[in-house]
Amino acid sequence: MKTTIILISFILFTTTPLLAQQNAFLEDSIERLENSRKYILLVADMMPEEKYDYKVTPESLSFSENLMHIGFALDWHSQSLLGGREARVYQTDTVFKPANKTKTEMMTRIDQTFAEAIILLQEFDPKALDDHLDYFGLDRSKRQICMLLADHITHHRGQMLVAMRLNGLTPPRYVLYQ
């Protein structure tokens, strides 16, 4: 009996801090997505709809393509890679293509996609953060997928901010941790 109590105490002592760290990681990831959601919606709202097709260079994505690409990748990283849902096919997907969508429709889609990703992370099992998967031929943990997702949003949002500047607009003030 004494051995069982010692073993249970050891397991609790060694795993509880790890689970707390993983929960903190998820909480931080959720906070970052919530802040990023607010900021991207401000950026999208500030760009006039007639400038949504603007490209910084001919080979660049347009403002609207960057916006919807953020949505597609957010959906794929969260719902498919983290959540296990079958992935959308980028080439044939219409949900995240800007064609035939108004500015309002695109903003609504992005807002909904962020909401879905946040809900998924709120319900995510912290132990699964250590699960690994194939990410373009690389072995990555689901924790790394969360970080890659945040990097991807920042990358494309930065391109949108350049498009705004080149159109004479001042982007919303950057707020930390988004």
Work out how many domains the chain is built from and give that number.
Answer: 1
CATH number at residue 40: 1.20.120.450
Report pLDDT digits (tens) over 48-102: 999 999 999 999 999 999 999 999 999 999 999 999 999 999 889 999 999 999 9
Give residue 174's pLDDT.
85
Res 78: pLDDT: 94
Residue 67 and residue 86: Cα distance in Å, rounded?
Answer: 22
35, pLDDT greater than 70: yes
Helices and strands (H, E) in the chain, number of each type? 4, 2
The confidence score (pLDDT) of residue 6 equals 57
Q: Give the residue numbers spanning the domain of 107.
A: 24-166
Q: Evaluate whether residue 99 is within a structural domain.
A: yes
Q: Say if residue 155 carries a ligand binding annotation.
A: no
> Residue 106 in contact with residue 64, Cβ under 8 Å?
yes
pLDDT at 21 over 60: no
The reply, when asked if residue 132 is annotated as ligand binding, is no
**pLDDT value for 19:** 46
- The answer to whether 77 is annotated as binding is no
Residue 55 β-bridge partners: 62
- What is the model's pTM? 0.85
CA distances from 44 to 3, 65, 111, 173 (A): 61, 12, 11, 14
